[in-house]
Structure 1
Amino acid sequence: MRIKKIFNNNVILLADEHQNEMIVMGKGIGFNKHNAESVDFSKVDKRFVLDKGNTDKLVGLVSEIPAEHLELSHEIIEYAKQNLSEKLSDNIYITLTDHISFALFRLEEGLQIKNVLLWEIKKFYKEEFRIALGALELIERKLGIRLPEDEAGSIALHFVNAQHTGQDMRHTVIVTRIVNDLANIVKYHYGIKIDEESLNYSRFMTHLKYFAYRMLQNELIPEEQDSLYDQIREKYPEAYVCTQKLVNYLERNYDKKLTNEEMFYLVIHIQRLTSREI
């Protein structure tokens, strides 16, 4: 395999003659190297071999985040694989890496989002939560940064979702329809063309999918007394107006009324998606 892209001195993308790709990490593996050159595999510490779609998304993510975030996520996932009985989907390399990197960024910016499902996660996903607490300890050892316990709850949910093997087909069909309709409402509201192959779009669609499952199962995030909803509504007024269109659609077609907490996360995700596209 030869070098296809160099992210930095320690992370590169390789490809063979059939364009099968692999992301590899190793100290100095990309130093003084150029595209199309071969590499010294004795320097390779970690390898990421995923299916084509996930490799493309991981390449996009690695281009945006520090290499140490990818390395942290890899170590956490390997630890989880050794301790969980169910197989984890390769998609977790993207979703968990993205979450950890964004969580570290939020902490740096002084924005901490409370995990309103933390109690339920601790109760129903004890093993996943235990491993997630270990992930926080690993992050602290590597970076000297202690993420709050709420983040352990979020990391645990990534493990749960990665073990997800399927839903009732009726739910799957309805969820697919809801997600598609909600995404179209956002596109038409902003009047922009969104790259549906982008990592940002993938993040947004993942949120919509799990939101739709929660809504159909009547497991919406409950109201919080100290909600940040009013603050976020004022900070991102256009995303809030767009969210209200989604709310109206769901009330009209599915007779579902959203909590402020669910609307809070919709505003956040819509703002994140559209601000980068615009």
Structure 2
Amino acid sequence: MLNYARPSTLVFFVQGLFFWEVMKHMRVKSILNNSALIAFSEKSEECVLIGKGIAFNKRPGDPVDETKAEKVFNSRHARTEELIELLEDVPEKVFEMTNTIIRYANRKLGKDLDSGIYVTLLDHIHSAIERTAEGIELDFGMLTEVRMLYPKEYNIACWALDYINATMDIDIPIDESGFIVIHIIANETPNMDTGSTKKILRITKDITDTIMSYYQVKMDTSSITYTRFVTHAKYLALRYIKHEQIEQNEDSIFTLNPEAIEKTKDAIQVLNQKLKEKYGQSLSEYEKLYLTIHICRLLNIK
């Protein structure tokens, strides 16, 4: 019996063949730097090609070396014009560093980040270098949450800072790593952008800060108990901004001690009021009950 490829696999295979066939007929229109150029096809369709050394020793009219193309931004891509403007303004050394960081991130994450990262991360790194040269520091304010919630992305960001500092002989502040994580997450997660990612982190911090402040306790932020609570706060924040309801698990709720509910209800009310004032939305009753469970576990309330 013959084994046929699934339709989706076949479609991607044909699309890939078509892409490389088109690439073979593309020629250089203009050089942006050694690793980026604008090309055009026989049908005069233009696109930006990015790849290590793809434009080296090339001249307008030369055929494109398709084997060096890592990313393609065609004229229909929403950020093509923005990328071209950046490449005309940003030093080539900064662009090369950004590409190296993106390759490193892709390798460590085991997947390719969305192509928008070439625009957002390049712009941020360029700005961070300029800020450092001018003695300007940005306060990220949520590094503790980032370290716990996105350890893999945070390690990538720290590597990126070390790499930039060594290459440029500067000392970019550690807070910039938080902003780099934001860009990675926004281009790693479907239907997510930097604004949504920042909002999730802000709400997560609001939840943890409010509870810690209400009970006037200081927790070991490296403890498993605290990490679990912050992780719950993150998923609560994600559901909150998406207006999603938590999956109801009656067994967990029935295990709640009435005294525990009494000891946490005022804290949850304070938090609910804060979220409503800042973001215009209250917590659902089920969300409050699950938050009660996690507060009790965090503070060992019986």
State if a TM-score over 0.5 links the two structures.
Answer: yes
Q: Give the equivalent residue in structure 2 for 1:274.
A: none
Query: Aligned-pair distance for 1:76?
Result: 0.7
For residues 93 and 23 of structure 1, the distance between their equivalents in structure 2, rounded to whole angstroms, comes to 12
Q: Which residue type is aligned with residue 80 of structure 2?
A: T
1:29-49 per-position Cα deviation (integer Å, ceiling 9, x unaligned): 257x3x4x215749x866431
1:117-170 per-position Cα deviation (integer Å, ceiling 9, x unaligned): 111111111111111111112213322223221112211222112122237xxx
Query: Contact 2:153/2:184 (CA < 8 Å) preserved in 1?
Result: yes
Larger radius of gyration: 2
For residues 277 and 201 of structure 2, the distance between their equivalents in structure 1, rounded to whole angstroms, comes to 11
What SS does the aligned partner of 1:7 have?
strand
Q: Which residue type is aligned with residue 117 of structure 2?
A: I
Asked whether 1:23 is paired with 2:46, we answer: no
For residues 61 and 156 of structure 1, the distance between their equivalents in structure 2, rounded to whole angstroms, comes to 21
Identity %: 27
Asked whether 1:49 is paired with 2:72, we answer: yes
For residues 34 and 110 of structure 2, the distance between their equivalents in structure 1, rounded to whole angstroms, comes to 36
Q: Give the equivalent residue in structure 2 for 1:99.
A: 124
Task: Pick the aligned partner of 1:38 from 47, 62, 81.
Answer: 62
For residues 71 and 111 of structure 2, the distance between their equivalents in structure 1, rounded to whole angstroms, comes to 20
Task: Decide whether aligned partners of structure 1 residues 29 and 210 sit closer, same or farther in structure 2, where only a CA change above 3 A counts.
Answer: same
The total of aligned residue pairs comes to 185
Q: Structure 2, unaligned stretches of length 5 or more? A: 1-25, 210-274, 280-302
Q: Give the equivalent residue in structure 1 for 2:173.
A: 148
Task: Pick the aligned partner of 1:78 from 103, 111, 117.
Answer: 103
Query: Aligned-pair distance for 1:23?
Result: 2.6
Pairs within 5 Å for 1:186-225: none
What SS does the aligned partner of 2:89 have?
coil
For residues 196 and 129 of structure 2, the distance between their equivalents in structure 1, rounded to whole angstroms, comes to 24
Pairs within 5 Å for 1:159-170: 159-166=184-191
Q: Structure 1, unaligned stretches of length 5 or more? A: 168-205, 223-253, 259-278
Task: Decide whether aligned partners of structure 1 residues 15 and 219 sit closer, same or farther in structure 2, where only a CA change above 3 A counts.
Answer: farther
Scaled by the length of structure 2, the TM-score of the pair is: 0.51
Scaled by the length of structure 1, the TM-score of the pair is: 0.55
What SS does the aligned partner of 2:73 have?
coil
1:221-244 per-position Cα deviation (integer Å, ceiling 9, x unaligned): 98xxxxxxxxxxxxxxxxxxxxxx
Q: Which residue type is aligned with residue 62 of structure 2?
A: S
Q: Which residue type is aligned with residue 120 of structure 2?
A: T
Query: Contact 2:186/2:194 (CA < 8 Å) preserved in 1?
Result: no
1:83-126 per-position Cα deviation (integer Å, ceiling 9, x unaligned): 11455211111111111111111111111111111111111111
For residues 163 and 27 of structure 1, the distance between their equivalents in structure 2, rounded to whole angstroms, comes to 25
